Structure 1
Amino acid sequence: MTVALITGGNRGLGRAVAEELAERGMTVVVGARDASAGAEAARQLGKEATSVQLDVTDPASAFYGMVVPAYQSSKAALNNITIALAKALVDTPIKVTSVCPGFVQTDLTPINRDQAPLTAAQAATVVATAAVLPDDAPSGTFIDRNRAVAW
């Protein structure tokens, strides 16, 4: 069984990725700040989906204060984390891939909703593709809709 934890899986791009991966037969765990929103998203997904509350901003959360480099770093540093994790996990079946889904219609900012050309479902395709790379695919890469992007 392949399991995918989708942070922010209850709405926007995360929700679209969760839907696509569930359709591809993966067991999806919806990570959400709001436990009830995550549970509802998992219920709607069906297919053995479950949820977990992941809120690094809530002092009552088990994840409060957790140092999560991806949240605290620039895009350049995130690229470095991708490479470092890929090297650390080289002897495991785990793939580490940075993904640029494109300019997506989400609630991140008003401009996204109004001007972005891609729906969350369209952008989810590239993220889902990264989640199901074949065993012989390289780890530590950066991809967009079209191809691997040179570092």
Structure 2
Amino acid sequence: MKKTALITGANKSIGFETARQLAQQGYFVYIGSRDLAKGSAAAAKLHAEGLSSVAALQLDVTDPASIAAARASVSSLDVLINNAGISGGFPQPASTTTSALAREVYNTNVFGAMDMVGAFIDLLHQSPEPRIVNVTSLLGSLTLHSDPRWKFYAIKGGAYGPSKSALNAYTVALAYDLRDTPFKVNAVCPGHTATDFNRHNGPGSVEDAAAIIVKYATIGADGPTGKYFSNDIPDRGESPW
């Protein structure tokens, strides 16, 4: 039976390429998109490439009603990729970042992911090999942010980085909660990639960014869980927390 994956924020950039690569591996992929028209256009593009096992799904992770409607439309699920995210805009000095901005960023980057897990965990439990990938950033690493030698040491903010630190912490807790099950739950940083998210400022390609997400979305029973991996670590290795 064909495995099924759901990707939030998948109508463009890394999420879209992740959908393409999973479809190429034989998965049926739901392209989650806040704007259904944009999601449908993305699905049509993949259909034109011969990837017919793709469907658009209206999904706003900050809207409980949207999540509930999406859940009602999905009957089975093997892979959940929490890819939707916002930066809140940069620069983002911690001393002037407002709690309103932080809440906006957390609503998508943290609470949206948590609500998606809550809504779809029952379906994932029915899969023989359930996988959850929380798409994060090295800007969420407290260890790296404390090291003046780190190349991104000066890129700090009051909302975005802390939201990814919170997502990482949630990933650890979720993996522990599911430790005696077939679940594999990991935080994955696609690396410094040129996308709309950062005004196309980055050396990485969306193809490479998606590849590391797909790697941990499709790992076998002997794969890791509760870990933090990044394309910006040599050999796509494990990142310090």
Residue of structure 1 in register with 2:15 after alignment: 14
Q: Report matched runs for 1:5-84 at 5 Å.
A: 5-45=6-46, 46-56=51-61, 62-63=66-67, 67-68=111-112, 74-84=163-173
Residue of structure 1 in register with 2:237 after alignment: 147
**Alignment pair present for 1:135 and 2:221:** yes
Residue of structure 1 in register with 2:126 after alignment: none
The amino acid of 2:20's aligned partner reads: E
Structure 2 segments unaligned to the other structure (5+ residues): 69-106, 116-158
The amino acid of 2:210's aligned partner reads: A
Distance 1:30 1:69, change over 3 A: closer
Kept in 1: contact 2:191–2:204 (CA 8 A): yes
SS in 2 for 1:19: helix
- CA deviations 1:3-47 (Å, max 9, x no partner) are 111111110110111111111111111000111111222232233
Supply the distance in 2 between the matched residues of 1:123 and 1:94 (Cα, whole angstroms): 23
Higher helix share: 2
* Larger-gyration structure (1/2): 2
Supply the distance in 2 between the matched residues of 1:39 and 1:69 (Cα, whole angstroms): 22
**Alignment pair present for 1:120 and 2:206:** yes
* Segments of 4+ moved more than 3 angstroms: 56-59, 63-67, 69-73
Q: Report matched runs for 1:66-105 at 5 Å.
A: 67-68=111-112, 74-105=163-194
How high is the TM-score relative to the length of structure 1?
0.84
RMSD over equivalenced CA pairs, Å: 2.6
Supply the distance in 2 between the matched residues of 1:84 and 1:47 (Cα, whole angstroms): 36
How high is the TM-score relative to the length of structure 2?
0.55
- CA deviations 1:22-74 (Å, max 9, x no partner) are 11111111000111111222232233111211124569x52499942569962
SS in 1 for 2:190: coil
- CA shift for structure 1 position 94: 2.3
The amino acid of 1:13's aligned partner reads: I
Structure 1 segments unaligned to the other structure (5+ residues): none
Supply the distance in 2 between the matched residues of 1:82 and 1:109 (Cα, whole angstroms): 24
- CA shift for structure 1 position 2: 1.8
Supply the distance in 2 between the matched residues of 1:139 and 1:58 (Cα, whole angstroms): 28
